[in-house]
Structure 1
Amino acid sequence: MNTVSLGMGAESVYFAQPYNIDAVGFYFTDLADYQDKAAKAVDRFGFPVEEFELQYIDGDYAELFNALSVSQASLADWFELVDEIDDVDDRYVIACHLAGLGVAVGEIAGQWDDYWLYRDSAADYAAELVADCYELPQQLEYYIDYERMGRDMVLNGDIVEIERELILIGG
């Protein structure tokens, strides 16, 4: 089994399972590898195999691959997306969020600049936002409930809490 190294240190391996029960599937690591092996795939009677179910076998992008329901039709877009995600950890988190919203694999890369990640709590984001936007007297700051303000921002959909102390902003 061959693997290809990605920028995140991941090695991704995929499997193409033929819908034809008389054919044997194959492992692949990139688009060229898939296209080469798919072109040579035949069933036990010598007929070409045309349709495959694609499966993510090993690597760091399984969640995104499954959320996007990558198929033969979107495989080229998938590998372009993976190239753009490499070396930028935030992009993977943003891509998973967008995939969960139903954004197509070919449209995700066009939305990178619309989102960013904030690595702290919603309350800390609310406090930073208030400090950046307003010049409050120090005596008044003690009366602002940043915990509640951050929670309200999450509940209103202004920000998305991906996990504890990881907030997605934008959209």
Structure 2
Amino acid sequence: MTTAAHTTGAESEYFAQPYSLDAVGFYFTDLADYQAKAAKAVDRFGLPVEEFELQYIDGEFYRLFNAIVVTQASLAAWFDLLEQLDDDEERYLIACHLAEDGYAIDELAPRWDDFSIYHGTAAEYAEEMVADCYQLPDRIAYYLDYERLGRDMVLEGSITELERDLLLLGG
């Protein structure tokens, strides 16, 4: 657990809010930190606290954390996923998209290779795709409407616009 992603994930800050109103929550940065503090958590009567709501406080992975809805049961899988991300921004974007589409945390890593990220507009992707697939003379290529072709690719689901000038290909 000494990969760059785990180190980056450890730089994130989380909060464990007890469901018991008689207990005080705690901040943590990694699984070992959480386990140590959760084991010591007691309410004002000295009884152990067993259930916590986990909150993402600070860091770069908030979007994925919220999309997955990390709980106590999936916390170990969350930190494993951060390690597998290996500081790969494209994997992170793909994982966010899949999680927002309802994929479970253990289904994300096996699907990374099914997708790729394209930096540019749908029209630019359409123009590049036509150029790669066909040897059209310039006088004919000039008449193609790449804006409409790109829009149609988005509408039919061939590509997904994640944000401006960022496309998800595949699936």
Q: Are residues 1:33 and 2:33 paired? A: yes
Q: Which amino acid in 1 is paired with 2:98?
A: L
Q: Is the contact between residue 14 and residue 56 of structure 1 (CA under 8 Å) also seen in structure 2?
A: yes
1:4-23 map, 5 Å: 11-23=11-23
Distance 1:10 1:48 in 2: 26
Identify the residue that residue 59 of structure 2 maps to in structure 1.
Answer: 59
8 Å contact kept, 2:54–2:71: yes
Measure, in 2, the Cα distance between the counterparts of 1:77 and 1:29: 15
Alignment match, 1:134 = 134
Conserved? CA contact 1:14–1:28, under 8 Å: yes
Given that 1:123 and 1:149 are in contact with CA atoms closer than 8 Å, whether structure 2 keeps it comes out as yes
Equivalent pair of 1:78/1:106 in contact (CA under 8 Å): no
Partner-residue secondary structure (3-state), 2:116 = strand
Change over 3 Å in CA distance of 1:102–1:153 after alignment to 2 = same
Partner residue in 2 for 1:105: 105
Higher helix share: 2
Question: Which structure carries more relative contact order (alpha carbon 8 Å, separation 6+)?
Answer: 2
- Over 3 Å counting, the alpha-carbon distance change for 1:50 and 1:9 in structure 2 is closer
Partner residue in 1 for 2:158: 158
Contact 2:9 2:82 survives alignment (8 Å): no
Q: Which 4+ stretches in 1 moved above 2 angstroms?
A: 5-11
Looking at structure 1, the residues matched to 8 and 36 of structure 2 have their Cα atoms a distance apart, in angstroms, of: 26
The alpha-carbon distance between structure 1 residues 62 and 132, as it changes in their structure 2 partners (threshold 3 A), is same
- What is aligned with 2:89? 89
Structure 2, unaligned runs of 5 or more: none
Contact 1:23–1:49 (CA under 8 A) maintained in structure 2 = yes
One-letter code aligned to 2:145: D
- For the 8 Å contact 2:10–2:30, the answer to whether it is kept is no
Q: Secondary structure at the match of 1:116?
A: strand
| CA-CA distance at 1:145 after TM superposition | 0.7
Deviates more, 1:80-89 or 1:62-71: 80-89
Structure 1: any 5+ residue segments left out of the alignment?
none
Residue 43 (structure 2) pairs with residue 43 (structure 1)? yes
Q: What do the CA deviations read for 1:85-111 (whole angstroms, capped 9, x no partner)?
A: 232111111111111100111211111
1:76 matches 2:82: no
1:10–1:59 CA contact under 8 A, matched in 2:
no
Identity value in percent: 66
Displacement, 1:11?
2.5
| Residues 1:38 and 1:7: Cα distance change in structure 2 (over 3 Å) | closer
